Amino acid sequence: MPLPLATATTGSATVGTSQDGSVPRHVAIIMDGNGRWAASRGLPRVAGHRAGAEAVTRCLKAARAQGLEYLTLYAFSSENWRRGPDEVADLKGLLRFYLRHKVAELHGQQVRILFVGEVHRFGPDLCDELARAERLTAHNTGMTLLLALSYGGRSEIVQAAKALARAAQRGEIDPDSIDEDVVSQHLLTAGIPDPDVIVRTSGEHRLSNFLLWQSAYAELVFLDQLWPDFNETSFMQILEIYARRDRRFGARPA
């Protein structure tokens, strides 16, 4: 059952409730701009990632305040492994820090945490901590936070296709019965509603291999703001933009 969303006001605009369809159930964010934020201040890239992690905390607070049901954050793409070893090590260290120091707090707030992506690439120690976070929060009934780690949309679709092909080869599924719902059930986000809106910060206008299947009918919002500067006002701006969109899903206007 959808959670009720509180009415909120920013400036002269008022954000509605989930019942009238003006507030999304699921927001997904491509958190971009940490490196440019650091460079503009003459700081190392890791400082941008640390500031970006603080922006995540602000985003979560705003999302919970509005009663959002699902929030997905693109935290580490499959392409990020191509970055320098020092930066990758910094990102992994930051992930480990937040797993050890923030998960208990989120658990206390009834947030359910899920990870999607090829998380095995982070190694057994980090994988164990990821699994512990999922187990600890599995029965929480508040907002669901999905963190996309070592995630790539094309790879996800390929893996789903392989799984369906193997099932058909074993005679477990009739190829003619495969439809969009069946494919969705074999994605990493199975059981999670598709995002209503996908946001990218930093002024870039690309999906960058993020939720390619799931974004088919998502509203796209692009913000010029660099991710470390993201705050509650930014989140309310997203909700206001979404509330003004006319979502017809291919149907003609009434």
DSSP track, 166-201? HHHHTTSS-GGG--HHHHHHTSTTTTSPPPSEEEE-
CA dihedral for 42, 46, 47, 53, sign (positive or negative): positive
Q: Does residue 224 have a pLDDT over 60?
A: yes
Q: Is 135 annotated as a binding residue?
A: no
Q: Where are the domains of the chain?
A: 21-227+237-243
Q: Report pTM.
A: 0.88
**Residues 107, 244: Cα–Cα separation, whole Å:** 34
Q: Provide the mean pLDDT of the chain.
A: 90
Closest by CA position to 7, among listed 84, 75, 65: 65
List, for residues 133-178, the tens digit of each pLDDT value: 999 999 999 999 999 999 999 999 999 999 999 999 999 999 999 9
Q: Where are the beta strands (DSSP E) in 97-209?
A: 112-116, 144-151, 197-200
User: Is 33 within any annotated ligand binding site?
Assistant: yes
Give helix 85-101 / helix 45-65 axis angle, nearest 10°.
Answer: 40
Whether residue 90 is annotated as binding a ligand: the answer is: no
Tokens 């979560």 belong to residue = 60
The residues annotated as belonging to the active site are 32, 80
pLDDT, position 60: 96
Q: Which CATH number fits domain 21-227+237-243: 3.60.150.10, 3.60.21.10, 3.40.50.620, 3.40.1180.10?
A: 3.40.1180.10
In eight-state DSSP terms, residue 110 is: T
Q: Residue 127 and residue 133: Cα distance in Å, rounded?
A: 10
**Over the stretch 96-141, which tens digit does the pLDDT of each residue have?**
999 999 999 999 999 999 999 999 999 999 999 999 999 999 999 9
